[in-house]
Structure 1
Amino acid sequence: MKIVVCIKQVPDAKDVRLDPVTNTLAREGVQSIMNPYDQHAVEEAVHLKEKLGGTVTVLSMGPPQAEEVLRQAISCGADHAVLVSDRAFAGADTWATSYTLAKAVQKIGDFDLILCGKQAIDGDTAQVGPGLAIQLDIPFVTCIQKIREATDTELVMERMMDDGYDVLAVDYPVLLTVVKDINTPRVPSLKGKMKAKKAEILVLSAADVGADPKKIGLAGSPTQVVDVFPPPPRGERALLTGSIDDQVEQLVERLAVYL
């Protein structure tokens, strides 16, 4: 089985800030990590490879430093890594990102299964996975919480719903997005870390994947951030000070006016 896993390097959630000029996430000087949902996608891909055989190729679109998360994926059992990196990709929205990843997947070649995390924690749109499937003209299923059965011809899985879950069977090729309930990512072994350190990362530019310049980056993004602002304060606020007993007394006095 040939599996492709799309992963993303994102800013650490505890150190997120916006660029006041571009209204995009500031990434320079900010510690980055693999998108948490993508870690589960990598783990599930490696698990399927161990069960059915085949290869796992991890794919990421980002700056050169995104090699870090690709090597992390290799240390956890992935076989190959591809980084799509070009200044022309800067400012891409989910539409342009899906198009770029689709061109990269086509460049990689044949595949049976594509796995993605449900969403990235920096954008929280959950659009790139389905968008990639649309670009590739293949079926997709989102929010997979468990793969019940996996064979060389089909997958039987549970799709998380608000009131329970659906059980679905799909043939290949297909794209799945996964949630955190699907597994527990493994800790890289020493052997895995050594393999990742020596691994060659294939870097592809916009020209390498044959991307249309009008469909990538800001130029290919139908949606753009026009303004960023904090939500307006809701109602009156009061700060209680002093000892716990003093604060309790102040709170009781304030609540008394509503009785």
Structure 2
Amino acid sequence: AVSIGVKQAQETLRTALAMGADRAILVVAADDVHTDIEPLAVAKILAKVVEEEQPGLVLAGKQAIDNDMNATGQMLSALLGWSQGTFASEVDIEGDSAKITREVDGGLQTISVKMPTIVTVDLRLNEPRYASLPNIMKAKKKPLDEKTAADYGVDVTPRLEVVKTEEPPARAAGIVVGSVDELVEKLKEAGAV
């Protein structure tokens, strides 16, 4: 299990260890939880981790919960030159390929990709294991390596500056009409009919 961010992400990794991961790597790339690490920097760090660890399959969430970018998995695939399957709700490994069922606007799409591959997963892929108390205790003894972005030679300086964030304008109040005829008249006045 790998997490890139702040030191507090150790708690999340310990939960992953309690759920069955053998070991974890935390890459501390920010001091403050409000510092956004952009998807390209995350993908570059993950590419270095993949080069070191040599997995045959990388599973990632389909998008981050902080900025909804939905880009890291795809960027990682491009950096490594690996195949990718996105929005996966089902994954079956068959020899040197993976059959991935994806959730798309029109329904479900099944694709076959060559291994090694990057798969970004949807919520419906599986139901996570329950982290039992004995496993939580065992997780404290499992290895959790702590590294920095500099250890991988990756600059995490943001390339994007948020200039402004504001709420949409408040919606104007509607009016109540007494009949269909009055509604049609109001729509004519507004130029909608």
Q: TM-score, normalised by structure 1?
A: 0.63
1:82 and 1:203 in contact (8 A); partners too:
yes
**Structure 2 unaligned spans of 5+:** 184-193
| Native 8 Å contact 1:84 1:104 kept in 2 | no
Aligned length: 179
1:194 corresponds to 2:143: no
Report whether the alignment pairs 1:232 with 2:169.
Answer: yes
- Structure 1: which 4+ aligned runs deviate by more than 3 Å? 86-91
Written as runs of structure 1 = structure 2, the 5 A alignment for 1:153-172 is 153-172=96-115
Q: Secondary structure of 1:181's match?
A: helix
- Aligned-pair RMSD on alpha carbons? 2.2
| Equivalent in 113, 138, 157 of residue 217 of structure 1 | 157
Residue 83 of structure 1 deviates from its aligned partner by 0.5
Distance, in Å, in 2 between the alignment partners of 1:139 and 1:155 is 10
Residue 37 of structure 2 corresponds to which residue in structure 1?
Answer: 92
Q: For residue 151 of structure 2, what is the aligned residue in structure 1?
A: 208
3-state SS of 1:198 partner:
coil
SS at match of 1:256: coil
Report the counterpart of residue 75 of structure 2 in structure 1: 131
Distance in 1 (alpha carbons) for counterparts of 2:133 and 2:117: 33
Q: Secondary structure at the match of 1:176?
A: strand
- Residue ranges of structure 1 left out of the alignment (5+ in a row): 1-57, 238-252
Question: In structure 2, what residue type is equivalent to 1:127?
Answer: A
Contact 1:59/1:70, CA 8 A, preserved across alignment: yes
Are the equivalent residues in 2 in contact too, given 1:93–1:224 (CA < 8 A)?
Answer: no
Q: Which of 151, 160, 179 is 2:122 aligned to? A: 179
Deviations 1:78-109 (A, max 9, x none): 11100011348954322222222222332x32
**Contact 2:30–2:37 under 8 Å retained in 1:** no
**What amino acid sits opposite 1:231 in the alignment?**
P
Q: Name which of 54, 66, 69 aligns with 1:110.
A: 54
User: Identity, % of aligned pairs?
Assistant: 33
SS in 2 for 1:195: helix
Amino acid in structure 2 at the alignment position of 1:185: P
Q: Which residue of 2 aligns with 1:10?
A: none
Asked if the contact 1:153/1:172 (under 8 Å) is kept, the reply is: yes
Q: Distance in 1 between matches of 2:36 and 2:121?
A: 26
CA contact (8 A) 1:88 1:217 kept: no
Distance, in Å, in 2 between the alignment partners of 1:88 and 1:190 is 30
The 2-side partners of 1:226 and 1:206 are apart by 26
- 2: CA distance between counterparts of 1:217 and 1:92? 8
CA contact (8 A) 2:39 2:72 kept: yes
Aligned residue number for residue 64 of structure 1: 7
Kindly indicate whether the alpha-carbon contact (under 8 Å) linking 1:88 and 1:206 is maintained by their aligned counterparts in 2: no
Q: Distance in 1 between matches of 2:57 and 2:93?
A: 11
